[in-house]
Structure 1
Amino acid sequence: MNTQKKFFAILLTASALFVGLQSNAQSIEKSKLRFGIGIDGLLPVGSLTNTTNFGLGITPRLQYGISDRFALTFTSGIYHFFPKDVLIQYGSQSYKARYDLDVIPVKVGFKAFVTSNIYVGAEGGIGFQVDNGGGDTKFLGSGGIGYASKKWDVGVRYENIPGNGYRNGIIGLRLAYGFGL
């Protein structure tokens, strides 16, 4: 990843963490369910940059408070990646190809609050590829940090999507609106 992209990712992370700092209320309650719907900006890293430019996602998340500082999460939704034109050499002929990539993530994880609003989290699960006939599944593992208030959740994560000998991953920025159930 070049220096400009790293700087941009750090800037987005810092901005996301300080959005809405005026709220001091605890964002998680013991034995309570919360539901949030998020919009994700997805920046491919590793081998995924060879075939995709960027991605967008919609991620509903259910959260259950185990304590006032720890929650279990269940996240699903869809990731859509916008493809690049890829030049394929076959003998003396060259062909343009586009590899569509749409993934349905199904992940479980946790959030551990280090302050009343700042958390670290991790998730693991499976991604079901639904384009080009589907059928391919990938393990998904992610870790990240975020800021959550009573209504808003802003987080940045790195998500690893290994498979077929390639190192694929994404840096995701999630902005979500949530409410108690």
Structure 2
Amino acid sequence: MNTKTKLLAVALTAFALFMAVQSNAQSVQKGKLRFGIGADGLLPVGNFSKSANFGLGITPRLQYGIANNVALTFTTGFYHFFPKDQLYTDGTTSYKYKWDMDLIPVKAGIKAFVTSNIYVSAEAGIGFQVDNGGGDSKFMASGGAGYATKHWDFGVRYENFAGNGYRNELIGLRVAYGFGL
């Protein structure tokens, strides 16, 4: 992401959080815990789209209300990406192979409601790669928006994860069912 895009993303997030703090929405109860389990559709973008067709994920999320319209979040789960066929040439022979990637995200974030049902969110954390022996970890950051009711949460997000010289980007769609604890 270039510098102008990062600055625009930060400015929009700050504006949305400011608006959320100013609103009188009662979307999150202060001091209350909520738990939700989501199914994610993951669409690779940028260079990542050259090696992966799409991904699926499952993401449990714990949410704690710090104000009546702002919550802290903790999200984990599992992402699986379905690879495209890749061609590798060693100079004399060409080989087809499939790159594989499974990731366990561990992220903390904030969710701020701008109306009683519409929210903006931001998360950051670490993704642990578990395929092919694992061992690789990636810094993860995301920003998104969504619509939540008493039990359902529909969200869209841009997510970036980078490590060991690689940067992958995706657009994620999450549908979750949640309840109070």
TM-score (norm: length of structure 2) = 0.84
1:1-181 aligned within 5 A = 26-181=26-181
Percent of matched pairs sharing the same residue: 73
Task: Provide Cα deviations, 1:70-102, integer angstroms capped at 9, x if missing partner.
Answer: 000000000000011100111121000111100
1:27 deviates by 3.4
Any conservation in 2 of the 1:74–1:106 contact (CA below 8 Å)? yes
Q: Counterpart of 2:60 in structure 1: which amino acid?
A: P
Partner of 1:11: none
| SS at 1:49 equivalent | helix
What whole-Å deviation, never above 9, does each CA across 1:123-159 have from its counterpart, x for those lacking one?
0000000000000000000000001110000000000
**One-letter amino acid of the counterpart of residue 133, structure 1:** G
Structure 2 Cα separation of the partners of residues 165 and 126 of structure 1: 15
Q: Aligned pairs, how many?
A: 157
The answer to whether the Cα contact below 8 Å between 1:26 and 1:149 also exists between their aligned partners in 2 is: no
Q: CA RMSD in A?
A: 1.1
**Whole-angstrom distance in 2 between the partners of 1:80 and 1:59:** 12
CA distance in 1, matches of 2:168, 2:71: 28
Matched to 1:43, the amino acid is L
Q: Is the 8 A contact 1:46 1:167 kept in 2?
A: no
CA distance in 2, matches of 1:36, 1:99: 31
**Contact kept in structure 2, 1:77 and 1:104, CA below 8 Å:** yes
Calculate the TM-score normalised by the size of structure 1. Answer: 0.84
Q: Distance in 2 between matches of 1:136 and 1:68?
A: 38
What are structure 2's unaligned runs of at least 5 residues? 1-24
Contact 1:83 1:98 (8 Å CA) reproduced: yes
8 A Cα contact 1:26 1:150, kept in partner: no
Structure 1: 4+ residue segments shifted above 4 A: none
- Structure 1: gaps spanning 5 or more residues: 1-24
Equivalent pair of 1:87/1:97 in contact (CA under 8 Å): yes
Cα distance in 2, alignment partners of residues 174 and 160 from structure 1: 16
The answer to whether the 8 A contact 1:74-1:108 is kept is: yes
- Please give the secondary structure, in 2, of the residue aligned with 1:47: helix
Contact 1:38 1:177 in 2 (8 A): yes
